[in-house]
Amino acid sequence: MAEKEAVEPAAEGKGSSKKLIIIIALAVVLVLAGGGAAAWFFLSGSSSEDPDAPKVEVKRPAIYVKLRTLEGRPMFVASMQSSSGQRHLMQIYAEAKTRDPAVEQALNQHMPLVVARLNTLFTTADPESLRLVEGKRALQQQATAIVQEVMSDKAGNSGVEIVLFTSIVMQ
């Protein structure tokens, strides 16, 4: 019986060592797989680091400049005449959108020229076409083009994205 007991612990030792070797081998495989995955993740890089990829420009926050008349009022009042000869009044509050503080400063500096050009545009507008949304959008596009043209001529950079009408009242 003593011999049987001595043989059994030796048999258990061989089975335990096989299990231990298998566990160690699995642990090594998992560590190597994890290391390989981490290396692939970090070395593959993202497309933003690619020198050939176009760089995305981060937009600065929008700056809205009130287009004001020379008296400092933030509105335009224009007298218009329809094709039937009837007189109409239009009141417009307008703001220019830019993202450059230098353009904001230049716009304030050249405000008299901007106001004069916009007054001409507003007084020559057709009141009947302004009743429709398309007419208001066309007037807005014309106002944007005028402000961009003035800024390009005077400041060397238009820098104005759009002129927004915050209020339009017509009689």
pLDDT (tens digit per residue) in 13-48:
566 888 888 888 888 888 888 888 888 777 776 555
Tell me if the pTM is above 0.75: no
Per the CB < 8 A criterion, the answer to whether 97 and 104 are in contact is: no
Chain centre distance of CA 49: 21
Locate 145 and state its tokens.
């083009």
Name every residue whose Cβ is closer than 8 Å to that of residue 149 and which is 6 or more positions away in sequence. Answer: 158
CA 139, CA 122: separation in Å to the nearest integer? 8
pLDDT (tens digit per residue) in 79-104:
888 888 889 898 999 999 999 898 88
Name every residue whose Cβ is closer than 8 Å to that of residue 96 and which is 6 or more positions away in sequence. Answer: 64, 65, 67, 107, 147, 160, 162, 163, 164
For the chain, percent of residues with pLDDT exceeding 70: 85
Amino acid found at 29: V
